[in-house]
């Protein structure tokens, strides 16, 4: 009964040839001349070119399925669809990496969308001024966090003092 009710999300995709000597996949290229056969010449297809399901991509990047769906709802990602199944190509994975880099650097999703539009192929499309502005923002946030931590430590210390004072009073009585 294994497999009943399960669909193959990759069913219907073009079949890939496999080069057993090199251990790589070959994909038919659309070519005007048919010298390579009915489907045109074959080119190597490495593992990164293979379509990935949402679960595979989530595991690869350490995010949840909900995160990927959210990025899609915000139009940061546009994975291919095969029925209800999302298929992420290499370009989608590269965009996810850029989005996560932008989040790690403290940018909002709206800012990331704008930065991705200006990407030149090497990372986020950041200018020097944008870098400096973000550094200043993060330093202000860091100072605020450090002040909050210091205040919480004082409050926590006051609990210990009160416990010690209560302990001292109860031992005297």
Residues 6+ apart with CB under 8 A from 75: 113
pTM of the model: 0.63
- pLDDT of 38 > 70? The answer is no
Please write the tens of the pLDDT for every residue from 66-115.
999 999 999 999 999 999 999 999 999 999 999 999 999 999 999 999 99
Written as six digits, the tokens of 112 are 């990331």
Q: For residue 25, list its beta bridge partners.
A: 18, 45
Structural domains present in the chain:
13-49 (no CATH), 51-126 (1.10.1660.10)
Give the Cα separation of 167 and 67 in Å (integer): 50
């Amino acid at each position: 009964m294994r497999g009943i009710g399960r669909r193959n999300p990759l069913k219907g995709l073009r079949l890939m040839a496999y080069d057993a000597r090199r251990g790589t996949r070959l994909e038919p290229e659309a070519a005007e001349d048919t010298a390579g056969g009915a489907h045109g010449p074959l080119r190597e297809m490495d593992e990164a070119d293979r379509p990935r399901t949402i679960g595979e991509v989530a595991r690869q990047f350490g995010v949840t399925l909900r995160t990927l769906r959210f990025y899609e709802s915000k139009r940061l990602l546009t994975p291919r669809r095969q029925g209800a199944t999302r298929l992420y190509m290499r370009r989608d994975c590269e965009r996810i990496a850029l989005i996560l880099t932008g989040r790690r650097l403290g940018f909002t999703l709206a800012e990331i969308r704008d930065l991705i539009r200006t990407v030149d192929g090497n990372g986020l499309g950041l200018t020097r001024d944008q870098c400096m502005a973000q550094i200043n923002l993060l330093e202000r946030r860091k100072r605020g966090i450090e002040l909050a931590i210091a205040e919480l430590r004082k409050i926590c210390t006051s609990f210990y003092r009160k416990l010690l004072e209560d302990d001292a009073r109860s031992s005297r009585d």
